[in-house]
């Protein structure tokens, strides 16, 4: 796999993107290829604004009187 990755890197204009600095470092250590960009995992909460919470709970059939905790993730086998 490392050989194929190195060959693809030489023959194409692939942009290598990592999702964490540790991933970029590991990728470099395994392939001697530097990533073009690192996009950190997580959610930039500055991009979102508060909405009408009571109405959202009503529309989603969620209770109004308890605290809720949410999670956004890619669910797939092996994770």
Query: In the chain, what is the greatest distance between 2 CA atoms, to the nearest angstrom?
Result: 59
**24-35 pLDDT per residue, tens:** 999 999 999 999
Interacting residues of 39 by C-beta distance below 8 A, sequence separation 6+: 17, 18, 19
Interacting residues of 45 by C-beta distance below 8 A, sequence separation 6+: none
Task: Tell me, yes or no, if the pTM score tops 0.85.
Answer: no
> 49: pLDDT confidence band, cut at 50, 70 and 90?
confident
What average pLDDT does the segment 44-58 reach? Answer: 85
CA angle 44, 45, 47 (to 5 degrees): 80
Query: Between these two residues, 59 and 39, which has the higher pLDDT value?
Result: 59
Q: How far apart are the C-alpha atoms of 68 and 23, rounded to whole Å?
A: 32
């Amino acid at each position: 796999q490392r050989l194929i990755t190195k060959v693809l890197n030489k023959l194409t204009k692939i942009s290598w993107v990592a999702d964490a600095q540790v991933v970029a470092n590991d990728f470099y250590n395994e392939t001697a290829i530097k990533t073009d960009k690192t996009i950190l995992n997580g959610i930039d909460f500055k991009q979102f604004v508060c909405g009408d919470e009571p109405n959202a709970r009503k529309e989603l059939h969620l209770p109004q009187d308890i605290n809720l905790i949410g999670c956004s993730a890619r669910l797939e086998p092996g994770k």
